[in-house]
Amino acid sequence: MRLDKRLVRDHSTRRALSYLTYLYMRFVYRTTRWTVVGEEHPRRLVAAGEPGIAAFWHGRMLMLPMELRRLVRALKLDAFPVHMLVSGHGDGRGISDVIRYTDIMTVEGSTNQGGSTALRAMVRYLKAGDYVGITPDGPNGPAMRATTGVIAVARLGNAPILPYTYATARRRILDTWDCFHLPLPFGRGVFVWGEPIRVPAELDEAGIESWRALVEARMIALTEEADRRVGCKSVAPGTLTRREWRARRRAQRAGGSA
């Protein structure tokens, strides 16, 4: 194992890096001129006393907790906690460390398996009237390709899915499996909420796939709208899983050193 990987997996080092990441998030949030589009959608859910599922792509998650915290505070949702699902691998633990600074709670796991502990936890929170956040393409990808896990949570939790994303005019799209959007400070940015998607409780396999495809299409369209609003080119959905992307990178490094 390389030294840099050992350092990142060290608990104290990971916590320090997570705090620096949070400071960067705050810096970008405060130095960017933000516009919020579609905020009426989560506000209506709150006014109606309904729980909800914020669904966002893995590569667009960095700044979303900052705006979500602002909205939670504006709506006085202290009695309605927000729980964000993060994976249990090393990257996920780092994300969890960052998110804890934003007053949002995390749940470790993945909803890719229908009977998973994480899925049951998400459903339990929704039935208690809480709100949850899920990355339908994480943690394994491909980028911007939804799995059926989010459909299972929506069906069992009887809660609408709210697509949620952001974009900034000054940014870097990293060469990672999730096409990670790294925002840069001193520019324009936009947070966009989509209309709620209400998934029927009773669905056969074809119905589940149909709704999965609908959620994916809505989320892709919302991301394209966010990019358009800040004058940036849209990012195409990925074609490689996390494992496939890493295998390609290893092959490229091996070829370069030959």
**Model confidence pLDDT, tens digit, residues 83-129:** 888 765 555 566 777 877 787 887 776 655 444 788 888 999 999 98
Domain count of the fold of the chain: 1
If pLDDT is split at 50, 70 and 90, which confidence band does 14 have? confident
* Euclidean distance between CA atoms 220 and 165, whole angstroms: 10
CATH number of the domain enclosing 70: 3.40.1130
If pLDDT is split at 50, 70 and 90, which confidence band does 77 have? low
If pLDDT is split at 50, 70 and 90, which confidence band does 166 have? very high
pTM confidence score: 0.89
Q: Which of 165, 148, 134 is nearest to 52 (CA)?
A: 134
Residues β-bridged to residue 167: 190
Question: In the chain, which ranges are E strands?
Answer: 33-37, 52-55, 82-86, 105-108, 131-134, 161-168, 171-173, 181-183, 188-193
Q: Cβ atoms within 10 A of the Cβ of 120, count?
A: 14
pLDDT at site 157: 95
- What mean pLDDT comes out for the span 148-177? 96
pLDDT at site 91: 59
Indicate whether 75 pLDDT > 90. no
For the record, the structure tokens of 159 come out as 């809660």
pLDDT at site 257: 55
Question: 3-17, 88-102, 189-203: which has the minimum mean pLDDT?
Answer: 3-17
pLDDT at site 125: 92
pLDDT at site 2: 45
Task: Look up the domain containing 70 and give its range.
Answer: 3-257
If pLDDT is split at 50, 70 and 90, which confidence band does 149 have? very high
Is the CB of residue 139 less than 8 Å from the CB of residue 87?
A: yes
Average pLDDT across the chain, whole number: 87
